[in-house]
Structure 1
Amino acid sequence: MTIEESVASDVLQVAREQVLDRGEPLSHGQILDVLRTPDDQLEELLALAHEVRMRFNGPEVEVEGIVSIKTGGCPEDCHFCSQSGQFSSPVRSVWLDIPELVRAARQTRETGASEFCIVAAVRGPDARLMAQMREGVAAIRAEVDIQVAASLGMLSQEQVDDLVDMGVHRYNHNLEAGRSFFPQVVTTHSFEERWETCLMVKESGMELCCGGLVGMGETLEQRAELAAQLGELAPHEVPLNFLNPRPGTPFGDLPVMDSRDALRTIAAFRLALPRTILRYAGGRELTLGDLGTRDGLLGGINAVIVGNYLTTLGRDPKEDLSLLAELEMPIKALSETF
């Protein structure tokens, strides 16, 4: 056994005792050690992460669909995003009307999903968007038996209170990257601004959905930092995105993340967040493919976004639902998400 293999074995044993047996999440340094697990121990790592998922979350999988109420034309410069108005990427500003929003929610519910997230490409919502949200959420709640979430950028306390009053039960606001790497990803707002919105959401009683994007050129140390900072924030759900390089964006020429690194990342995030909903989000189709998607579901993932994303195509929902049935992972009942 090499020194690297010996260190990895020790790390996995520590993780088994600390996370699986005692329910204590890994520290930043321990997460980094897991991210360095050699390929020949990846299967053991994924099996441990799956045990942790099953012990603290059970076999159920939460299924969600998303739709953009306002697409493109965002003033922010998130370097991975083709919806930024600052780049030459092809997405341009489009608004969705209320009947289309209700139709999308109904189609999402028909897949078996229990969650429908309304997303807007904005720095934060203005009065027009908040009014459209109020009308849209009311229309969906009147016609579709589905839980409504939202992702509208950075919020004021008044806007947080308004969303609670509308009946939005979960709010998504990703950290995107760890604090030390964040300035290389976004320059038009700060990590602290995002963190502040997350804290207000948590204090409001809404569930916080907060994750990030990996494969943007960050070091393993910075990837571990993101997982540790999410652990500190303790959101209800963490969507894990893998960079899908978009033409015209500053990150458009970056390579696609290696699938083994992606699986190590899934397992590391599970061991850093043992009780959290860990959701497959954007980029998994390109990064992992069909086989990797299965491996991730057996390596710590316990929630999925079905269908397409905001500006990229996803898997056919029937493929995901068929895989869940094959793995005997039931879809979490709608009533269980309230």
Structure 2
Amino acid sequence: MLRGMTDTAVNSSATDADNHLDTDILAVAREQVLEQGIGLDADQVEQVLNLPDERVEELLALAHEVRVRHNGEGVEVEGIVSLKTGGCPEDCHFCSQSGQFTSPVRAVWLNIQELIKAAQETKETGASEFCIVAAVRGPDERLMRQLREAIAAIKAEVDIEIAVSVGMLTQEQVDEMVDMGVHRYNHNLETARSYFDQVVTTHTYEERLDTCSMVIESGMELCCGALVGMGESVRQRAELAAELGALEPHEVPLNFLNPRPGTPFGELEPMGSQDALRTIAAFRLALPRTILRFAGGREIALGELGTRQGLTGGINAIIVGNYLTTLGRDPQEDLDLLAELKMPIQALSKTI
């Protein structure tokens, strides 16, 4: 017996430990997340990710309750287009746009008229946001000039908010983005800090985090996403959810690895649908007030049924159409599904 501890105290401690082990994580989440609005921590998310398949339906139902309680019924719709595709100097192991790999994507630049047309087509789907993306480490003077001209031209012709994703920024570039009228800046963490060097070696997790912090401080909304299914452990997936919870981005796009030929991760097996659904719900429970967006790879990991389950399991935003280098669903299929589920398309930043 420990010095100074009575038999009663020992028995009480043992009982407390047993009760902790017996505590159901979904019961904890219902009180902590649904009722109090406090996201799960890494240990709790890991428990959710390890729930058996027979409890996934119950998990999704709770995640949907959390989504509706803290974000409302609406779904935010976005389209994306690549201003500069391919030829990126970074070695993100999942990405076919890296110039270091043998994937077939090669550098292509769009002109302003092509961007305006893409923005118009995105607006016609009912989307409220149009995201311009470039495959670069960070923008040089030429790219910043093109962005300024393109954003001005789009705003003059299309009533849609503009988001941008062009890599790591300096403080001066962050300030320029604000001046251009950029509504939301996207810069993904991708994976947990503890796994980051297995995914990228040409820059660090901290460099990405620095850009995210500057964006938040600037007043722009931060979109900061995750890519799961890259060989990370369940624990590392839970770490990422908690790291995003601590950062508190306005939006988290949730991507599932779509293995691309010629990349280091090109031979990995896509994530299974049950694990994908557990991940969606777990991220919702870690991020109760965040826009959680269906992004790349959902068609591979989930298919039609899983897409429906995700929208009733924590997701409250969606990218329609194609992604940067991979094909998505026909936008009308997603819009029809939202209508069938009676989920209205909501304007940007409309949360409760």
TM-score bracket for this pair, using the shorter chain length: over 0.9
Name the residue aligned to 1:268: 282
1:313 aligns with 2:327: yes
Q: Cα offset for 1:333? A: 2.9
1:206-217 equivalences in 2 (<5 Å):
206-217=220-231
Q: Give, in whole Å, the separation in 1 of the partners of 2:38 and 2:128.
A: 29
Secondary structure in structure 2 of the residue aligned to 1:53: helix
Name the residue aligned to 2:248: 234
Name the residue aligned to 2:295: 281
Q: Give, in whole Å, the separation in 2 of the partners of 1:286 and 1:8.
A: 36
- Report the identity percentage: 75
Q: Give, in whole Å, the separation in 1 of the partners of 2:249 and 2:275.
A: 24
Q: Give, in whole Å, the separation in 1 of the partners of 2:121 and 2:66.
A: 33
Q: Give, in whole Å, the separation in 2 of the partners of 1:42 and 1:163.
A: 41
Alpha carbons 1:173, 1:198 under 8 Å: kept:
yes
Q: Cα offset for 1:7? A: 6.4
Q: Give, in whole Å, the separation in 2 of the partners of 1:147 and 1:9.
A: 45
Name the residue aligned to 1:154: 168
1:219 aligns with 2:233: yes
Q: Give, in whole Å, the separation in 1 of the partners of 2:259 and 2:309.
A: 23
Q: What residue identity is the alignment partner of 2:174?
A: V
CA RMSD of superposed structures (Å): 1.3
Q: What residue identity is the alignment partner of 2:56?
A: L
Name the residue aligned to 2:337: 323
Q: Give, in whole Å, the separation in 1 of the partners of 2:22 and 2:178.
A: 45
After superposition, give the CA deviation of every residue in 1:125-146 in whole Å (9 maximum; x if it has no partner): 0000000000000000000010
Name the residue aligned to 2:272: 258
Q: Cα offset for 1:8? A: 8.6
1:140 aligns with 2:171: no
Aligned length: 332
Alpha carbons 1:46, 1:263 under 8 Å: kept:
yes
1:195 aligns with 2:171: no
Q: Aligned to 1:96, which of 96, 110, 125?
A: 110
Q: Give, in whole Å, the separation in 2 of the partners of 1:138 and 1:311.
A: 26
Q: Give, in whole Å, the separation in 1 of the partners of 2:68 and 2:50.
A: 24
1:1-338 equivalences in 2 (<5 Å):
10-333=24-347, 336=350
Q: Give, in whole Å, the separation in 2 of the partners of 1:200 and 1:306.
A: 28
Q: Give, in whole Å, the separation in 2 of the partners of 1:333 and 1:211.
A: 20
Q: Give, in whole Å, the separation in 1 of the partners of 2:271 and 2:22.
A: 22
After superposition, give the CA deviation of every residue in 1:211-263 in whole Å (9 maximum; x if it has no partner): 11000000000000000000010000000000000000000000010100000
Q: Give, in whole Å, the separation in 2 of the partners of 1:86 and 1:298.
A: 39
Name the residue aligned to 1:3: none
Task: List runs of 5+ in structure 2 lacking aligned partners.
Answer: 1-19
Q: Give, in whole Å, the separation in 2 of the partners of 1:230 and 1:272.
A: 8
Alpha carbons 1:70, 1:93 under 8 Å: kept:
yes
Secondary structure in structure 2 of the residue aligned to 1:312: coil
Q: Cα offset for 1:9? A: 6.9
Q: Give, in whole Å, the separation in 2 of the partners of 1:88 and 1:9.
A: 50
Secondary structure in structure 2 of the residue aligned to 1:81: coil
Secondary structure in structure 1 of the residue aligned to 2:194: coil
Q: Cα offset for 1:159? A: 0.3
Q: What residue identity is the alignment partner of 1:181?
A: Y
After superposition, give the CA deviation of every residue in 1:93-148 in whole Å (9 maximum; x if it has no partner): 00000000000000000010000000000000000000000000000000001000
Q: 1:336 to 1:51 in 2, by over 3 A?
A: closer
Q: Give, in whole Å, the separation in 2 of the partners of 1:249 and 1:129.
A: 26
Q: Give, in whole Å, the separation in 2 of the partners of 1:230 and 1:192.
A: 14
Secondary structure in structure 2 of the residue aligned to 1:113: coil
Name the residue aligned to 2:8: none
Secondary structure in structure 2 of the residue aligned to 1:262: helix
Q: Give, in whole Å, the separation in 1 of the partners of 2:325 and 2:29.
A: 37
Q: What residue identity is the alignment partner of 1:49?
A: A
After superposition, give the CA deviation of every residue in 1:44-67 in whole Å (9 maximum; x if it has no partner): 000000000000001100000000
Name the residue aligned to 2:6: none
Alpha carbons 1:8, 1:38 under 8 Å: kept:
no
